[in-house]
Amino acid sequence: MLPRLLWKSLRGRKSRIALASAAVAVAAALAAALLSVALDISEKVAVELRAFGANIVVVPKQDALEVEIGGLRYVTAAQAAYLAESDLPKLKTIFWGYNIVGFAPFLSAPVEVGTGKALLVGTWFDREVALPRGPRKFTFSTGNVREVASEETSFRTGLKAIAPYWRVQGRWVEDAANEAMIGGALAGRLGVSPGDRVSVQAEGTTRTFRIAGIVRTGGPEEDQIFVDLAAAQALLGLPGKVDRVQVSALVKPDDALAIRGRRNPQGLPPEEYERWYCSPYIDAIIYQIEEAIPAAKGKILRQVAEAEGAFLGRMTLTMILVAAVAIAAAGLGVMATMTTTVLERRQEIGLMKALGAEPRQIARQFLLEAGVCGLMGGAVGAAAGLGLARIIGTQVFGVPIAPNPVTVPFVLGLALLVALLGAALPTRRAARLDPVMTLRGG
Amino acid sequence: MRSRFFLRLLQRSLANRPGKWLTAILAVALGASLVCAALTLAVGMRAKMRQTLRAYGANILLVPGAGPGAGGGEPLLASMPEDVLGKLSELARGLPLQGYAPLLYAVAEIGPHRAALVGTWPDAMRRVNPGWRVDGGWILDRADDAGAILGASVARKLGLTVGASLPLMVQGRTRTFRVVGILSTGGSEDEQVLVTLRAAQEITGRAGQLSLIQVSALAADRGVEDVARALEAGLAGVEARTQLRLVMAEERLLARLSLLLGLIAGLVLVASGLGVAATMSASVLERTREIGLMKALGASRSRVGTLFLAEAGAIGFAGGLGGAAAGLLLAEAIARSVFGGGVPLTATPLLVSVAMGSAVAGLASLIPVRRAASIEPGVVLRGE
């Protein structure tokens, strides 16, 4: 009896059911879209934040204090220490190697450029790096072994990848052997422009470079001249050496565990140590870099890292709050619609009672109807919401937002719950009414 | 006479069916509150976020312009006259500067070690870098020429703590400072010793000279560049360098954020519009008999249509107003929990949400109203 009643009711009242389902669907779409955005935004913004440039700098481990003024290192000959260029691919083999989105080595020294002094910087502009193959295994003292697959066999990186904020007049270096880029202030002092040639003299050797582009950053780069690393190594007589590597890594904002692990990660209990090691905190990534290249010391570019942390945390929290509020509001809206739908049918309820239906039977039928609306609307809405999230992602970040496995079940459950709740209250009231009153039209 | 009758009709319709209208008003209000909150945040967060990011250092550097003071681009050799500061303090009154601090660089020897020495106005340095963490105290007075702040790495390397005495030698001149505090920034400051500008000038023998000036400008959007140009124009012989790393990243992120919140506001607007449309058409359906009666008593199509549209407008206005107020509170609450301070409340989101509430309710009821106006009184009153 009940299935037939339900079927008839659903078929005979197509427009009303459609209306209620549509209301649920609209709310569910909103909820699914906002939830997807809120859950994925932290990752999207983390990628976006790489526009701040590198957040880690790797230098040779040494005993002496570093004397660095305005990006220039003042080292005595006895202190000079270097890293091996051949160690660089190891940066991508650490546990969080995937999160290293770019790095660039540097070798710098004061030289004569044209008629004046300037800092020569050798670097990779845009380089394809071959990576070691095969999965990497990490064993922990808890007995767990974590394996990281490595599908990447090569990695494209260099200055271009870690300095998206550079404003270049002219173009980037293409012919690595003969071209250079020059800082804006230095170019102004020398009176050169792209296409001109400059001579660079160091250790008695002179070489001429064609200027490909002029760099504006507002930072120390303004007074430097950039050439390919190999050219700088040859000029300075330091083959295979680099003195600093800037690394751009996707990191997770610090939380309580990150702060506990910062000073002495090995002092953490084994489970916590494993969790710390396997979270992309900036300190964990530096720890892993120092493990992979024992001669290296990693330093956080704190200004960049903290500004990023502040931004990421706040943006994520804002989105979560907005999504929560919107989902609550959409839920209230659906409840109101369901209530209206039931209230409209008070006469019908009266008739059913007059014909001998029990309040429980009536409630069951109405709740089933509401459940069907909730599920149908929820399913359609969740699908539409995922589509909306994709569009939002593409519009805002240029990359679609990945659907989270939590979203669909959560939205379906919520739609069902809200539809049932919205229908339950008025149904109970209507079922208790005197049929005579309702049938008279009161 | 007729308009008074119309108003009474409208008023009675609204007064006699409070439950029905409350649902519609609620639907509009929910939508309006979200739109208003998203818009307020989209506008207010840019300013808030910009302020937050200002905690992380200067965004403009004033360095000696091309010429003998430029020092070949080496900050250690660069110098400009201290008089620039006087002119800068006059200029600063007309510009959105959070603070500025002069710096003089030198390399100092501490026993067998070498470290970078920075002379500055300690109080101004704190204003430019409010995010710095300091153990112990800070040099409170620009004239406290004996106080020094040690970078954390220097302190660790030398084994010095707050209160210790620190002999510094620069170019053969020795002077003893007292360690007032220990600074930990994670950046190059960790390897520096910070003293007052005058002390640094005296010990280096560079009286009246500066290496550079750090400026923190709190300007909107592309305004940092404008501030830099204004500073350059006002200060002869000085080059103002915008720190593109911070400025461009900030702008790019803030633009994304506003776009995101704007899109959400649009999405919510469409969703709430559909909800209102559903409510309005349900209410017209329910009142077919009433409409039939009105028409039987001689009401014209346009009169019935106007009555319903006016009702929808009233609902939209009431819902929009209530929703906008709630939305401002929401935005305030969200901003408080995210930034620990409210967003500036502007009139625009409020007006936009009220206007939108009315417009959405009106538009959403157009179709059902047309249907209502073309009801055949004979058919309806017979009870079909």
- Each domain of chain B, given as residue ranges in start order, spans 2-52+252-381, 59-242
pLDDT at position A172 is 92
Query: pLDDT, tens digit, for every residue of B236-260?
Result: 888 898 887 777 777 777 788 888 8
Phi, psi dihedral angles at B96 (to 5 degrees): -80, 70
d(CA A370, CA A419): 6
Q: Which residue bears the tokens 């409840």? A: A335
**A167: closest chain B residue by CA:** B244
The answer to whether B260 contacts A319, with C-beta atoms less than 8 Å apart, is: yes
Q: Which two tokens stand for residue B194?
A: 């910070």
Q: Do A303 and B57 touch (CB under 8 A)?
A: yes
Q: Examine the pLDDT at B369 and tell me if it is beyond 80.
A: no
Q: Which among A149, A135, A146 has a CA at the least distance from the CA of A278?
A: A146
Q: Which of residues 136-175 of A touch B (CB under 8 A)?
A: 165-167
Whether the CB-CB separation of A106 and A122 falls below 8 Å is answered with yes
Give the confidence band of B2 by pLDDT, cuts at 50, 70, 90: low
Nearest to B278 among A22, A49, A332 (CB): A22
Confidence of residue B14 (pLDDT cuts 50, 70, 90): low
* DSSP helix/strand/coil, B182: strand
Contact A227, A209 (CB under 8 A): yes
Is the CB of B169 inside 8 Å of chain A's CB atoms?
A: no
User: According to the model, what pLDDT value does residue A440 have?
Assistant: 66
- Find the farthest-apart pair of alpha carbons in chain A and give their distance in angstroms, rounded: 110
Amino acid at A404: N
Span B22-43, average pLDDT: 82
Sign for the pseudo-dihedral over CA of A371, A377, A380, A386: negative
Q: What's the pLDDT score for residue B1? A: 45
- A66/B188 touch (CB, cutoff 8 Å), yes or no: yes
Residues in a beta bridge with B117: B106, B193
Distance from CA of A31 to the nearest CA of B (A): 10
Contact criterion met (CB below 8 Å) for B139 and B149:
yes
Q: Round the average pLDDT of chain B to a whole number and report it.
A: 82
Mean pLDDT comparison of A231-235, A364-368, B49-53, B186-190, highest-scoring range: A231-235
How far, in Å, are A109, A225, B112, B149, B206 from residue B171 at the CA level?
23, 30, 14, 21, 12
Cα(B242)–Cα(B225) distance, rounded to whole angstroms? 6
Interface contact A68-B264, CB threshold 8 A: no
CB B291 within 8 A of CB B380: yes
> Which residue of A302, A386, A390 is the best one to mutate when testing the B interface, meaning the one whose CB has the most B CBs within 10 A?
A302
Bigger pLDDT: A6 or B55? B55
Nearest chain B residue to A46, by CA = B253
The pLDDT of residue A427 is 80
- With b for 16 or more beta-carbon neighbours within 10 A and e for fewer, the A209-236 pattern comes to bebbbbbbbbbbbbbbbbbbbbbbbbbb
pTM of the entire structure?
A: 0.76
- Predicted local confidence at residue A197, as pLDDT: 93
The CA–CA distances, whole Å, from B180 to A194, B140, B150 equal 50, 10, 8
Indicate if the pLDDT at residue B191 is higher than 90. no
Residues 9-28, chain A: which have Cβ within 8 Å of B? 19, 22-23, 26-27
Closest CA to A362 of A429, A437, A436, A440: A429
One-letter amino acid for residue A338 of the chain = M
Contact indicator for B62, B84 with CB cutoff of 8 Å: yes
Nearest to B77 by CA among A232, A106, A115, A116: A116
Residue B268 with chain A: CB contacts under 8 Å: 30, 326
H helices present in B105-184, as ranges: 122-128, 152-158
Which token pair is A151? 């599908």
C-beta of residue B168 within 8 angstroms of C-beta of residue B149: no
CB B44 within 8 A of CB B343: yes
Low-confidence spans in chain A with pLDDT less than 50: 442
Per the structure block, which two tokens stand in for A60? 């040779």
Residues B92-140 have pLDDT tens digits of: 888 888 899 999 999 998 888 888 999 999 999 988 888 788 888 898 8
Interface subset of A 226-285, CB within 8 angstroms of B: none
Q: Do A74 and B248 touch (CB under 8 A)?
A: no
Question: How far apart are alpha carbons B64 and A222 in whole angstroms?
Answer: 13
Residue A396 near residue B263 (C-beta atoms within 8 A): yes
- Sequence letter at residue A88: L
Q: Pick from B27, B73, B337: which is nearest to A223 by CB?
A: B73
Taking alpha carbons only, the member of B37, B104, B94 closest to residue B71 is B104
Chain A and chain B share a number of CB contacts under 8 A equal to 229
What whole-number distance in Å separates Cα of residue B182 and Cα of residue A192? 44
Nearest to A178 by CA among A211, A223, A213, A222: A211
Nearest C-alpha in B relative to A329: B30
* Domain spans in chain A, listed from the N-terminal domain onward: 2-44+311-440, 55-300
